[in-house]
Structure 1
Amino acid sequence: MLTRRLPLLLALAALVAAAIAQPASARGGFHHARFLVTFDGTVHSAWNLPKYRAAQDCYRSTMFEAGGEETWHVASTGENKVLAFDNGVATQFQFGSWVMNADTGQTALKAKGQVNRSRHQSTTYEAGTCGITAPPLDWDEPKPPMDCGTRLVNYEVQLGWTGATAVKLAPDVVTGENGVREKLGFDNCTLVTPNNVLAGSWPAATGRITSKGKPMSSYWGRQRTFTATGHESWSAQRPVETVTQTASVTIDWKLTFTRVKG
Structure 2
Amino acid sequence: MGVIHGDALENIFGDDNGHSQILSHLSNFELVGEFYLKNQQGIILQNNFQEVALRGILSKQIESYQVESFYPTFSTGLHVQIKISEVREDENELEAYIVGEIVTTHEIKRDILFLATDYVLNKEFYKIGNTIDILLVATPVTFKIAPEYFEVNYDEEMLEALGIEAKYDENGNLEPVKFYNHSLTYIVPTEKSDIVYECMFDIKTLEELTIDTIKIKKLIVSADLGRENDDDSNIITFPVYLNSEKFSDITLETGTKIQGFFEFHGCIYKE
* TM over 0.5, shorter chain: no
TM-score range, shorter chain: under 0.3
Larger radius of gyration: 1
